[in-house]
Structure 1
C-alpha cells in the first residue's frame, strides 16, 4: 500500500476508534486553526503555519493516537497532562478514553499564537528576539547550549 498523499487519503485508510479519534482531532484543528494548511509529513497528517512551521502532527497506532506539538507547547500544559503518557512533544491518546477536546483545543491555540508571534515580530513567548546567524535562527535556547554554536539570542 502506498503512503497517503493527503489528509483525506490518510483518514480513508483508518478504521474504528482510530478513525473516530482522528476525525475528532481533525475537526478541532479546523475549528482552532482554520488558517493552517494541511500536509502529510513523515507519513502523518500535519498542520502548518503560513510561514511553513509545523504546528502539530497526528499519528494513529493500534491502540492510541499521538498528537505531537513542540516540546515547549507540551511542557506548558504539564499540569493538565498529568493523566496522560507524554513524550518530548507528544501526547498519547488511548482509543478507549474520551479525547480531551478542551485541552487539545487550548494546546492548538497556544502553538498557533506562539508561531504567529514568532512569524510576526521575531520574538518567542517570553519576548526574546530571534537573531539569525548564518542560515539558522535561535530563540530561547539556554546560554549553556549556545557556547559552541553559531547562535545568539538577545532579550528586549
Structure 2
C-alpha cells in the first residue's frame, strides 16, 4: 500500500469487512473528540488536537488501536479482562468481534484530557 494522503484513502485499501470496522472506529473517535483533526502520521490514520490523541490501523486479523503508552497503561486491566492482545503502546481488536465502542470512547476522552492538560501547562 502506498502512503495514503488521508484517512478515506487509507480505509479504501482494505477489504469491505475491515473498511466497515475502520469507519466505525473513526466515527467513535470523532464522536469522543469532535474538535480533533484527522491526519495521517506514521502512514496510519490519527486524530490530533494539540498533539496526536490516538492512531489506528487495519490488519489481516485485527484493528490496531494506538492510544500512546499512557492510554494503554490506564486501561490495561480492561484489555486483559476482555482478552485483547496489547503491548506498551497498542491494543488489538479482533476482526471477528464487535468494536468495544464504550471502551474506545473512554480511552479517547482520557487522551483528550491529557492533551488539554499538556496544552494548558505549556501556556503557563
Q: TM-score, normalised by structure 2?
A: 0.91
Structure showing the higher helix proportion among its residues: 2
Conservation of the 8 A alpha-carbon contact between 2:29 and 2:104: no
Max Rg structure: 1
Aligned pairs for 1:1-156 (under 5 A) are 2-49=2-49, 51=50, 53-82=51-80, 83-122=83-122
Q: Deviations over 1:3-33 (max 9, x none)?
A: 2101111122222221111011100111001
RMSD: 1.5
Q: Deviations over 1:18-50 (max 9, x none)?
A: 11110111001110011111111121101111x
- C-alpha distance in structure 2 between counterparts of 1:3 and 1:29, whole Å: 22
Shift of 1:57: 0.5
Which consecutive unaligned segments of at least 5 residues does structure 1 have?
123-156
Shift of 1:65: 1.1
- C-alpha distance in structure 2 between counterparts of 1:41 and 1:94, whole Å: 23
Number of residues paired by the alignment? 121
Detail structure 1 runs of 4+ shifted over 4 Å in the superposition.
Answer: none
Q: TM-score, normalised by structure 1?
A: 0.73
Aligned to 1:59, the other structure's residue is in SS state strand
- C-alpha distance in structure 2 between counterparts of 1:17 and 1:93, whole Å: 13
Which consecutive unaligned segments of at least 5 residues does structure 2 have?
none
- C-alpha distance in structure 1 between counterparts of 2:93 and 2:121, whole Å: 34
